[in-house]
Amino acid sequence: MAKTLIIPGLFGSGAGHWQRHWLDDQQQATLVEQEDWDHPVLTGWRDALERAIVRHGVVDLVAHSLGCILVANLARRPLTRQIRSALLVAPCDLDVTERLHPGSIEFGAMPEQPLPFPSLIVGSLNDPYMSFDRLRHVSTRWGSRLVDLGHAGHINVASGFGRWQRGYDLLTVLNGIARREEPSVNAVQASEKREVSVVAGR
């Protein structure tokens, strides 16, 4: 069974966050720990994620906010063959994040390379960290399917997302897509992007 790596964003995912509940509810889930949650540096965060992938073999990635940008920075790394799927929830726009939290992150430019593994972006119409138009652009560039949760904020505790059981269903759907695309999982291109209509509640 594939391991599910939980990948928080800036400041980590604190008590009550749906990622913390995921760790409690799903036996195969484990947290990717970072040395400094408050001042993320891309190289250090990416090294920690890659070590976790190597350690666990075939993995599913479940990322939130800046964690999604971290996952997208794996696009050209050789170990992507070990990634079965990536559920990317409320990715943040780096320019916006840097304005909201000046001096906190060192992540370079927004990644725009197609992801070489099946991915599903879950977004919101009123996320303060990324406009929906920008989210559509990002999903196209990454070759990701896109699920719109409506007015769901940043899909975190502040916007009412504690134990988010529908997230488990979305990963199940994504893994079904991954199985149908085998053995060409590593050949996903941006041109293959399509939106899926998934009714995803809290």
Instruction: Give Cα 147 to chain centroid, integer Å.
Output: 13
Check pLDDT > 50 for residue 193: no
- Please write the tens of the pLDDT for every residue from 139-188: 999 999 999 999 999 999 999 999 999 999 999 999 988 787 654 433 33
Altogether, the residues listed in the chain come to a count of 202
Residue 83, beta-bridge partner list: 59
Q: Provide the 10 A C-beta neighbour count for residue 147.
A: 22
Query: CA neighbours within 13 Å on the CB side: how many for 131?
Result: 5
- pTM of the predicted structure, to 2 decimals: 0.89
- Please write the tens of the pLDDT for every residue from 101-126: 999 999 999 999 999 999 999 999 99
91's tokens: 């990715």
- Please write the tens of the pLDDT for every residue from 46-94: 999 999 999 999 999 999 999 999 999 999 999 999 999 999 999 999 9
Amino acid letter, 189:
Q
Res. 1 pLDDT band, cuts 50 70 90: confident
C-alpha closest to that of 87 among 52, 53, 63, 114: 63
pLDDT at residue 177, rounded to an integer: 83
| CB within 8 Å of 107: residues ≥ 6 apart | 40, 41, 42, 66, 69, 70, 73, 94
Average pLDDT, integer, range 123-144? 98
* Separation CA 94–CA 45 (nearest Å): 15
Phi first, then psi, for residue 63 (nearest 5°) are -115, 155
pLDDT at residue 64, rounded to an integer: 98
